[in-house]
Amino acid sequence: MNLEVRDMVPADLPATLDIYNDLIESTTVAWTERPQTLDERRAWFAEQRRRGFPTLVAVDGPEVVGMTSYGDFRDSVHWPGYRFTAEHSIHVRDDRRRGGIGRVLMHELISRARRNDIHVLVAGIDSDNIESIRFHEQLGFAEVARMPETGHKFGRWLDLVLMQRILDGEIEAS
């Protein structure tokens, strides 16, 4: 594996769209039933850039194999008290999961968050996604809330698990 983590560029959008949309039809990772379009992905990316939020990809040779980003937790424009808290998202291509890619992506995202004065990173995870909950626990996130029947997909109610990691005062491992 020749893994590199770098900032996303427009040419990465189709591959990241495929990774994201692959989750829509068969999982409750993303609480939507409609695949995202390339135009929607472009608009999201433009907004990420405009707001200065990091959007990273993991590439192995020429292939994008994972992505991560963070954005507002709630709405820090209208509620500036939240400006030091961000909610992140991470997705690894199905055939490359459990190989360390997510961990490498998260270490870089956490490093960027610290440099950007983010105090808390939040993860919102479907309660059935035990692998993601364990992954986040291994990265130092703690469960802080369970919100029953907050979402709906596949004809059933879904519970939301909120996890967070406080970043201030931590010594960054090299």
Residue 134: C-alpha distances to residues 35, 126, 139 (Å):
27, 12, 9
Residue 96 confidence (pLDDT): 83
Residue 171 has pLDDT above 60, yes or no: no
Q: Is residue 174 in a domain? A: no
pLDDT at 169: 60
Query: Is 172:108 a contact under the CB 8 Å cutoff?
Result: no
pTM of the model: 0.91
- pLDDT band at residue 172, thresholds of 50, 70 and 90? low
What pLDDT, on the 0 to 100 scale, is given for residue 173?
Answer: 47
Per-residue pLDDT at 170 exceeds 70: no
* pLDDT beyond 70 at 40: yes
For residue 124, is it within any domain?
yes
The CATH number of the domain holding residue 14 is 3.40.630.30
Task: Quote the domain boundaries for residue 21.
Answer: 3-166
Is 173 contained in some domain?
no
